[in-house]
Amino acid sequence: VRAVASSAELAAATTAARKAGRLVGFHPTMGALHAGHRANLAHARREVGLLVASIFVNPLQFGPREDLATYPRDLDADLGICAAEGVDLVFVPSEREMWPRPPGVRLCVGDLAQRLEGVYRPGHFDGVATVVAKLFNLVGPCRAYFGEKDAQQLAVVRRMVADLGFPQVIVACPTVREPDGLALSSRNAYLSAGQRRAAPVLHRALEAGLTAWRDGERDPAAVERVAVKLVETEPAVELQYLALVEPDGFTPPATAEAGQVLAVAASLGAVRLIDNLVLR
């Protein structure tokens, strides 16, 4: 696997690949790669000619009181994983390379960014959209892979591509979970043993809401209530939101229907976790 730190080298490699008729695939990450990233890379590997991953902990998407400084970083392990998954090129820019000065032009996401995650992380999705736009411009036309685990981020990227005419094709990758249901996240490493035992309640709660819907419950508030009750059995888990939303705008639906997203966020001490399930 070839690691490059320069934007120009990245752009040259993807341009050459497209010229040679190869389909380019791109998986942007913040590193600390786990089996979720691996599955996404493996998925992409089966579909494209040149597979590019990026590893960049983007300061624009962290709030002032968030975990930018302590976000896990392990470049050697990440490059090993990329090699094992058949990645051709890993873009590992320094902060100076990506943002030599604070960008004076940024993307601003509308109502979609004000809901759920946006309430707890003001400015987060503007930072995500801005860095994804820059990465998309460097990589050029490609298939770009994003995890359903970050459902609202996926919706923001889809909206950005649709509204601004980006040439990338967005591919959604299913959430990879631990055997007990906990969604894999780089932040899981920071859970204490007790928090780790408590954390799967989030997935069990979403499953309970899903089951209620499958059993015929169509009142969104009732579906949410079933799930909230389960989270409340776990004192180590402090619920931030648990809501059924429309998949595109993340607005509250009048009735619970297939395709809607049951999304949750909670803090376990200093660790903030999110998860979701799609009604189907």
Binding residues (CB under 6 A) for ligand AMP: these are: 29-30, 36-37, 40, 146-147, 149-150, 173, 175-176, 183-186
Whichever of 150 and 224 has its CB closer to ligand AMP, that residue is 150
Instruction: Please give the Cα distance from 100 to 205 (Å, whole number).
Output: 44
Enter the DSSP assignment of 89: E
Cα dihedral 249, 255, 259, 264 sign:
positive
If you count them, how many residues does the chain have?
A: 280
Residue 37 designated active-site: yes
Instruction: Please give the Cα distance from 265 to 238 (Å, whole number).
Output: 9
Whichever of 62 and 213 has its CB closer to ligand AMP, that residue is 62
Catalytic residue chosen out of the listed positions 37, 43, 124, 203: 37
Whichever of 40 and 260 has its CB closer to ligand AMP, that residue is 40
Three-class DSSP category at 46: coil
Whichever of 50 and 173 has its CB closer to ligand AMP, that residue is 173
List, in sequence order, every residue forming a beta bridge with 262; answer none if it has no partner: 244, 277
Residue given tokens 């819907």 in the structure block: 213
For 120-181, strand residue ranges (E) read 143-147, 169-173
Active site (catalytic) residues: 37
